[in-house]
Amino acid sequence: FLAPEMDNWLKVNRGRNREWFALAHEINRLAQELWNGLPDVVQESSWKFTTRLLYLRGINSFQAAVVLINHGLTVDAGTIARSAFEDLFCLAASKNDEALVARLVGAQNVNRKKQARTVAQLPSDLGLEEVKAAKLKEFADTIEGDGQQLNFAEIAEGGKLKPVYDAYYRTLSHDAA
């Protein structure tokens, strides 16, 4: 991978965990099959659009975690797996709470606004030229919404996945710290 010594590690890891990698391959195959089987919809609701994105992002996170595990990067794989659980919680909760989509968009807008303002305020030797910083501040002012940070414990509970949150998500959060 990044060093010749890793070639042997990859073979050993794959050999020792053959059944797990076979399971991951099958899960990925089924997830892709489901994705590819979704009907094309020209005019879909924001709920359907968002849930499709969450599902696809969850698949991508799963794939990334498997790649990282394959290379022995277990802590990083756990961080990515945590992201996949967030997508799962949002998918499950959105089934019972269509207003969750608006909260997701609001939280994203708040984060984008904060990030834009933070980058615009960096010293010029660490960030942007003054003109570009001003444009970024203008852009931040155009972002609508006053959303809040997401609470994944509450979202998991809304999707009836609080036991999954407690058993897996918390552990992944602590492992990454």
Read off the pLDDT of residues 47-78 as tens digits, 9 standing for 90 and up.
888 888 899 999 999 999 999 999 888 899 99
Our measurement of the distance from residue 112's CA atom to the centroid of its chain's CA atoms, rounded to an integer in Å, reads 16
Check if the beta carbon of residue 118 is closer than 8 Å to that of residue 157: no
What is the spatial distance between Cα 145 and Cα 12, in angstroms, rounded to a whole number? Answer: 50
Q: Which pLDDT score, from 0 to 100, does residue 7 have?
A: 82
Counting residues of the chain whose pLDDT is more than 90, the rounded percentage is 42
Average pLDDT over residues 155-163: 96
Task: Please tell me the predicted confidence (pLDDT) of residue 129.
Answer: 80
Phi and psi at 41, nearest 5°, equal: -125, 120
Is residue 46 predicted with pLDDT exceeding 80?
A: no
Would the pLDDT of 45 be above 70?
yes
With CA atoms as reference, report the closest residue to 172 among 58, 54, 55, 76: 76
Could you give the C-alpha distances from 5 to 11, 71, 74, 75, in angstroms and in order?
11, 12, 18, 20
What is the mean pLDDT of the segment spanning 118-146? Answer: 81
Look at residue 177 in the predicted model and tell me its pLDDT: 66
Q: What is the mean pLDDT of residues 119-138?
A: 81
* Position with higher pLDDT, 26 vs 122: 26
Which pTM value belongs to this model? 0.80
| 106 compared with 147, residue with greater pLDDT | 106
Instruction: Determine what percent of the chain is predicted with pLDDT higher than 70.
Output: 94
Q: Which two tokens stand for residue 120?
A: 């615009």
Q: Which of 57-61, 100-104, 153-157 has the lowest mean pLDDT?
A: 100-104
Determine contact, residues 91/58, Cβ cutoff 8 Å.
Answer: yes
What is the Cα–Cα distance from 69 to 55, expressed in whole angstroms? 21
